[in-house]
Amino acid sequence: MLYFSKLKIISVLIFTIIISFFAITNFIKTDNDLFKRNINLGLDLQGGSYLLLEIDNTPVIIQKLQNKLSSLKKFLKEKNISSTNYKIIDDRKISFFVDETSSDKVLSLLTDQESEINPYFQKFKTHEFDVEETKVSSSRNITLQFSDYGLVQLKSSSQNQAIEIVRRRVDEIGTNEPNILKRGNDRILVELPGLENPDRIKSLLGKTANLTFRFVTLNEEESFGTEKLLYEDGSEAIISKRIVLSGDNLVDAQPRMDNQSNQTVVTFNLDRVGAKKFARATSSGVGKRLAIILDGKIISAPNIVEPIVGGSGQITGDFTFQSATDLALLLRSGALPAPMKIIEERTVGPGLGQDSIKAGILSLIIGFILVVIFMVVKYKIFGLIANVTLITNLLLLIGILTLFEATLTLPGIAGIILTVGMAVDANVLIYERIKEEIKNEKNKILAFDSGYLKSKTTILDANITTLIAALILFLLGSGPVKGFALTLGVGILTTLFSVYFIARLFTSLYVIRNKDKEKLI
């Protein structure tokens, strides 16, 4: 147990030096990209903004119900089943009537999992809906509404899409190490370290960015197939409800300065399908005005002078360069599946974060000094070896966190402090076991070897159980809890390495050279 081959010694030293160097790079500047890595400070240490967003899934539910209603109506018509009075009730139910002779067949189609209606509905699953039937005169009223399972699935899908869009928007701004997390099935937590003024990001996250191109009609009043929409300056226009093109067909958008008009504009490029639609619409609509609508408001409505067949165009408006940049960002990142609103907002100043860092470092230093004094007084030279190992352990821990560019939070500092205590605890267990072995074994080398061997099971059991707890906290926890679990878990691994490779190496070198001393420990 005390024997080390030259290969093992060299391997341990090389690994320790490399990882320790990563730890030191947090305090020095280097031009090497590999060693430019640093530990990132979390929101509670660096300061920044905390936003809790809530998704309004009502439009998503209504849209899905409308799609299902159209599909169902078409399917029953193809099956020659008479059905009437289709409507959506309270934004959550599909209601329609069938004659009494057809009701059993319709119910069978809707409730049978193997029914031919399932592939027709494009993976429509009957357990997504609850089906009810009531008798009304000679007809049957059938209603479908989302089951609890169906609502959870829909909200989960909407949340996943929203998180992806939020991440794109946040990344485009260039914030440092944003933390974007799920909260329940309709909320998203956004942590933005270092961002003290969140006004711009709040504005971007609060917009759905649903872009459509629709023709302006010549009618002065609303009629079937049209609606009244407002420009940003408050003026009105009657717009066709038929969507010529949607933002789904955009592949890129960029702010530009138009040299002819000396105005800031947003240029856009369309995918192949979008380019064909745009060319067809502008060819047939020469002389008409095409409204560009974002989230229900008209940005601009230019006249179509000639067909646009190149798959690109530009959006004009009273833009500043900043507003044009933000609009281009929204269009590039895509539309949110549902509107979102900010229900909670907090801003942590960097001063508070610095106070937390100072308090954490001070507690670490005090704890470290007390441990060093205790170990030297209690175990003399072996206490000194334990203290050197403890410093190496901290360097390894910080080095590994740096290597993976982990985010350090205040609970993470607590995890590092706990690691110091656990590292010392392992050494104390070993040394006390060695003392017991020396009483029964005259050969010092065998006594030390036996002490390390017999204490190994106890130390591994204690550390592995703690590691399991840290892993569970990391997988199930969030934010600060993850930070604590990460530093604790990595600290356990570095502790075991330090105790059984570094401390044991120094101990073996000392014991072999001083095996003839009457009292070693």
Q: pLDDT 10s digit of each residue in the chain, 521 long?
A: 566 788 888 888 899 998 988 888 887 766 666 666 788 777 777 778 888 999 998 888 888 888 888 878 888 888 888 888 888 887 778 888 888 777 777 777 777 655 555 544 433 444 566 777 776 666 788 888 877 777 888 888 899 999 999 988 888 876 666 788 888 888 998 888 777 677 888 888 888 888 999 999 987 787 878 899 998 888 999 999 899 988 888 899 999 988 877 889 999 999 999 999 999 999 998 989 999 999 889 988 988 988 888 888 888 888 888 888 988 988 888 888 889 999 988 877 666 667 777 787 788 788 888 888 988 898 889 999 999 999 999 999 999 988 888 878 888 888 888 888 888 888 889 988 988 888 887 787 888 888 888 888 889 998 999 999 999 988 887 667 888 898 999 999 999 999 988 988 888 888 888 877 777 77
Domain ranges of the chain: 6-45+350-513, 58-150, 211-335
The answer, as to whether pTM is greater than 0.85, is no
Sequence-distant (≥ 6) Cβ neighbours of residue 282 within 8 angstroms? 290, 304, 306, 307, 308, 309
211-335 topology per CATH = Gyrase A; domain 2 (3.30.1360)
Please, what is the angle between helix 148-173 and helix 321-333, to 10°?
140
CA–CA distance, 491 with 417 (Å, rounded to integer): 10
- Tokens 């060093």 correspond to 372
81 phi and psi, to 5 degrees?
-100, 120
Closest C-alpha to 379, from 427, 333, 331: 427
- CA 229 to each of CA 103, 247, 296, 299, 303: distance values in angstroms, whole numbers, following the listed order: 42, 18, 7, 11, 17
| Residue 502: DSSP 8-state | I
Q: What architecture (CATH level 2) is domain 6-45+350-513?
A: Up-down Bundle (1.20)
CATH number of 58-150: 3.30.70
Q: Are strands 211-215 and 290-294 parallel, antiparallel or unpaired?
A: antiparallel
